[in-house]
Structure formats: C-alpha cells, structure tokens
C-alpha cells in the first residue's frame, strides 16, 4: 500500500471518527477544530496498527470515491451552516450560541459520518441505521461533555481570556480520544455479534 493510500486512510479515520472536527471549526476556528481530531485519530490508528487490528496492507479505501460521496451531502449543509452563523452573529447572542453551534455542528458531521460508515461496512453488510444508532449511543456522554465544555468556555472567556485556546485545545483532545475509543469498543463488540 502506497504512502498516499496510507495518508488517505488516516484522513478517512479523522473524518469518520471525529464529529468534533467541524463543530470545532464552527465554534473555535480551523486550528482548534482540526488539530485535536488529527491527533486523536492518529493515536487510534497507531494503536490499532500496533495490535494488528488494522492491517494497512489489506485495508484499502477508495479515498477519492469516499470524499466525493460524502461531500455531496456535507458541502450544502456546511454552506447553510455558515450562512446561519453569519445571521446568528448579526442577530443573536448569549446562550443561544451554545445551542446553535452544538446542533449545527453535530448534525453536519453526523451525516458525514453516516455516509462514511455506509461505505466502510458495505462488505460486512452492515445496516446504515444500526451503525448510526451505535455511533449516537457511544457519543451520548461525549455530547454532554461538549456542552459542559462550552459552558465552561463561556464563563472563562470573561474571567481568563488568555487561557481559552489552551483550555479548549486540551478538552477537545480529550473529547476526541474518548470518541475514538468508545466508537471502536462498541462497534467491535457489535460486529462480532453480527457475524455470529
């Protein structure tokens, strides 16, 4: 497997396992949104490859096909989200920001992940609905953590403005690592049961 295919596989995992990426872009900027996702997904891919649970030599992904398929669904949503974000910045403020960013970011990336999951589990004849429900199930505690993070940032911005980037970066790494591990744990167990 060539270097570019490995990179494509790595990017695929980043996009597939981390709904926080686009949520982070919407709420914290590109660096704070993408960097933690890349780090967490990289750690998870490395861990699996060390245990030979993820064998790059036999695990192939048509990266171009995947991104083309996913972007058909996700790009219109991102466009709408940013238009709404501009409207929000002009009209709304306060607690509505937490709810707005959370719902928009989560919805967009969940759809992207569902598209990716459907492609990935084709050979296992996995149901898209089952996969999406498993993902939502393992994400529930992460969702709560993200909401608490936003509340904390909302107050810290008033008290200690200079520490916000470091605080958000650290928490988002934690969120991504938890997401990766919870997702793999719940799906590996379920896939074993499906095979039986």
Q: Please state, in angstroms and rounded to a whole number, the distance separating the CA atoms of residues 58 and 66.
A: 18
The pTM for the full model equals 0.28
Q: Tell me: the pLDDT tens digits for 174-189?
A: 555 555 555 555 455 5
Query: Residues 13-41: what's their mean pLDDT?
Result: 46
- Looking at residue 66, its pLDDT comes to 47
Q: Tell me: the pLDDT tens digits for 44-60?
A: 555 555 554 444 444 44
Give 147's contacts (C-beta < 8 A, 6+ positions apart).
98, 102
Higher pLDDT, 97 or 55: 97
State the pLDDT confidence band at 16, using cuts at 50, 70 and 90: very low
Contact present, 31 and 38 (Cβ < 8 Å): no
Q: Tell me: the pLDDT tens digits for 68-91?
A: 554 555 555 555 555 555 555 555
- Looking at residue 61, its pLDDT comes to 43
Query: Residues 5-23: what's their mean pLDDT?
Result: 47
- Report H helices in 121-196: 128-159, 164-195
Q: Tell me: the pLDDT tens digits for 133-171?
A: 555 554 555 555 555 655 555 555 555 555 555 555 555
Q: How many CB atoms lie within 10 A of CB 184?
A: 17
- Looking at residue 31, its pLDDT comes to 41
Element spanning 94, H or E: none
């Amino acid at each position: 497997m060539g270097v570019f295919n490995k990179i494509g596989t790595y990017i695929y995992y980043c996009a597939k396992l981390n709904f926080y990426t686009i949520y982070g872009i919407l709420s914290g900027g590109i660096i704070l949104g993408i960097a933690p996702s890349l780090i967490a997904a990289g750690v998870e891919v490395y861990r699996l490859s060390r245990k030979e649970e993820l064998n790059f030599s036999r695990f192939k992904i048509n990266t171009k096909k995947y991104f083309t398929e996913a972007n058909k669904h996700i790009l219109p949503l991102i466009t709408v989200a940013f238009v709404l974000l501009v409207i929000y910045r002009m009209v709304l403020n306060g607690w509505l920001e937490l709810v707005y960013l959370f719902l928009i970011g989560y919805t967009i990336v969940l759809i992207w992940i569902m598209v990716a999951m459907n492609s990935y589990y084709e050979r296992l004849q996995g149901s898209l609905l089952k996969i999406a429900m498993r993902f939502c199930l393992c994400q529930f505690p992460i969702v709560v953590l993200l909401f608490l993070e936003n509340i904390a940032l909302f107050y810290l911005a008033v008290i200690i403005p200079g520490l916000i980037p470091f605080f958000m970066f650290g928490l988002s790494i934690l969120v991504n690592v938890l997401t990766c591990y919870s997702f793999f744990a719940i799906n590996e167990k379920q896939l074993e049961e499906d095979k039986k």
